[in-house]
Amino acid sequence: MAFDVWLFFKRTDMKRMLLLMILVLGVAGCAVNTRYVSYTAQEFPPKAKYYFVSIYPESPQISFKAPYTVIGRVEASGRASEGVTADTLADEARGIARAKGADAIINSKTEAANYGGMDVIPGRCGYRHCRPPTYIPYNDTLLTFRGELITYIPAQTPQNK
């Protein structure tokens, strides 16, 4: 099947365009940058694939019924122009939390920072004409999710002697 598609493009420039499109689609999946900082040397077993990691926002009144320990910090960031949303960042953070064995994310917050600038496309001169440089303004938003990973400490049961 793939070989038939390759033969469909008889011209070399069309084959190059197909390879370029595949490369661009592969790079487009890397729109979110993630970082994990461990607070402990202890490692926890990863959670199941569909384990739901709860996210609690930053507030001073968080109270849990079970004792917990903070195991690390997670950060995820991406640009809105690349299709990244706050939900995308939260899902990436949940994936890291599952992989690190966390039960929940506390003190989470999402920040949005607007920035802008100017792209300059340099001019060029040909045989009969010169093209001046082009200035293109741009604006974008950088979204950042931050939170701390926790794991619940199992309750100690008294042992009968």
Tens digit of each residue's pLDDT (9 = 90 or more) over 109-124:
999 999 888 888 888 8
pLDDT in tens, 13-56: 666 776 766 665 555 556 789 999 999 998 899 999 889 999 99
* Predicted local distance difference test score (pLDDT) of residue 128: 78
> Counting Cβ atoms within 10 Å, is residue 103 exposed (0-12), middle (13-18) or buried (19+)?
buried
| E strand or H helix at 33 | strand 32-38
Per-chain mean pLDDT for the chain: 82
CATH of 31-152, one of 3.30.110.70, 3.40.50.2000, 3.40.950.10, 3.40.309.10: 3.30.110.70
pLDDT score recorded for residue 161:
47
| Comma-separated ranges of CATH 3.30.110.70 domains in the chain | 31-152
Interatomic CA distance for residues 87 and 78, integer angstroms: 11
